[in-house]
Structure 1
Amino acid sequence: MVSEYLKQNTAEYHDAAEKLFNSEKIFNKTFTLEDYKKIIHTNYLMLLHSEDKIFNSLHDKFGDKLQLEQRVKLPLIEKDLESLALENQKTSQRLEVNNEHEALGMMYVIEGSTLGGNVIAKQLSKTEGFDEVTFNFFGCYQENTGPMWKNFKEVLDTEVSEENYNEVLSGAKKLYTFLLNVN
């Protein structure tokens, strides 16, 4: 199953992202609004430079199977930027999506961040200093977070054959590398 292959082969990238964003501070309630602004700004740049490219790289069959219209996150994170009074900035870093399999690997990173983001939103909503924060991006699927993740993994595992695992992994690593270096 490609989802397990991705999980195993991107663990170090996932851990590096958690370290970059000071994730341990979320659970010991020392995460600050400045920490949150950093995580939103970095995820915004990732989505700005990847979301359209990913969706445009996927064949039509994925539109319905993955409910792509419900997975659009850029407008949501732009609302978060606005509410945090952050500017929409660009980056000089380039990101290319070479094929559909890379696009699916990149989606794995984004959908995984949505899964983790739901946990982050719940935790921060109980943290002092976050009373006024609206979690548009991290709370995008609300109570449907689990089913949306499950659907994504099922489509991935059903549609990707083993000979394409490395291309999917390449896309995931590419987007993680972008995220980790974008600042």
Structure 2
Amino acid sequence: MTVSEYLKQNTASYHDAAEKLFNSQKIFSKTFTLEDYRIIIHTNYLMLLHAEEKIFRKLADKYSEKLNLRDRKKLPLIEKDLKSLSLNGSTPSHELEFINEREALGAMYVIEGSTLGGNVIAKQLSKTEGFDDVSFNFFGCYHENTGAMWKNFKETLDAEVHENKYDEVLSGAKKLYTFLLNAK
């Protein structure tokens, strides 16, 4: 089993909890509201605010090129979404630390996975009444490259992490999911 399969299997309950928290089922029934969208953007903003720089710092030396880290920065994009939704930014208020690069990769798995799902969300919401003026900077960040960016991340993750370190990667993913599910 690859580490990406291991993560998918062992974070499924967190993923399901996040979908429930964000009323994701309403996206496909076209009953998702702008207020629902504000909540999902604000919560993802808090996650990126507290985690992105820390993740990138842990990964910079070894993974900067392999993962094209400079093209994966999402905090400036979600800040544009905040502004367009008239939401306020904030300063980090929680200590969220990743002890090594494997935990950082696990946390990045959560963020990159949200980007993959976000692409689907953006496409669906763009066809939903009330979302005509929404720009989807965060959810549409990779545009037509979403699949390629996910594939690159997954292949790099699977090639770099050995089975005896899977638990460390899972620890980072769980840390970030736990933060996301409790962010206010």
TM-score, normalised to structure 1, is: 0.98
Q: Give distance in 2, aligned partners of 1:38 and 1:59.
A: 31
Q: What whole-Å deviation, never above 9, does each CA across 1:94-152 have from its counterpart, x for those lacking one?
A: 21111100000000000000000000000000000000000000000000000000000
Query: Unmatched 5+ residue regions in structure 2?
Result: none
Aligned to 2:157: 156
1:182 counterpart = 2:183: yes
The 3 A distance-change label for structure 1 pair 91 and 65 is closer
Q: How far does residue 60 in structure 1 lie from its aligned partner after superposition?
A: 1.7
> What percentage of residue pairs aligned between the two structures are identical?
77
Q: Give distance in 1, aligned partners of 2:109 and 2:140.
A: 17
Query: Unmatched 5+ residue regions in structure 1?
Result: none
Aligned to 1:108: 109
Q: How far does residue 93 in structure 1 lie from its aligned partner after superposition?
A: 2.6
Aligned to 2:15: 14
The 3 A distance-change label for structure 1 pair 91 and 59 is closer
What amino acid sits opposite 1:62 in the alignment? Y
Aligned to 2:37: 36
Q: What whole-Å deviation, never above 9, does each CA across 1:143-176 have from its counterpart, x for those lacking one?
A: 0000000000000000001111000000000000
Count of residues in Structure 1 that have an aligned counterpart in Structure 2: 183
What amino acid sits opposite 1:66 in the alignment? L
**What SS does structure 2 have at the residue aligned with 1:92?**
coil
Q: Give distance in 2, aligned partners of 1:167 and 1:34.
A: 36
What amino acid sits opposite 1:167 in the alignment? E
Q: Give distance in 2, aligned partners of 1:30 and 1:95.
A: 34
Q: Give distance in 2, aligned partners of 1:93 and 1:159.
A: 30
**What SS does structure 2 have at the residue aligned with 1:178?**
helix
Q: Give distance in 2, aligned partners of 1:151 and 1:177.
A: 25
Q: Give distance in 2, aligned partners of 1:131 and 1:7.
A: 33
The 3 A distance-change label for structure 1 pair 100 and 132 is same
Aligned to 1:139: 140
**What SS does structure 2 have at the residue aligned with 1:55?**
helix
Q: How far does residue 61 in structure 1 lie from its aligned partner after superposition?
A: 2.5
What amino acid sits opposite 1:21 in the alignment? F
Q: How far does residue 59 in structure 1 lie from its aligned partner after superposition?
A: 4.7
Greater alpha carbon shift after TM alignment, 87-96 vs 144-153:
87-96
Backbone CA RMSD of aligned residues? 0.8
The answer on whether the counterparts of 1:108 and 1:172 sit within 8 Å (CA) in structure 2 is yes
Aligned to 2:80: 79
Q: How far does residue 92 in structure 1 lie from its aligned partner after superposition?
A: 3.2
**What SS does structure 1 have at the residue aligned with 2:64?**
helix
What amino acid sits opposite 2:106 in the alignment? G
Aligned to 2:126: 125
The 3 A distance-change label for structure 1 pair 42 and 128 is same
Question: Which consecutive aligned stretches of 4+ in structure 1 deviate over 4 angstroms post-superposition?
Answer: none
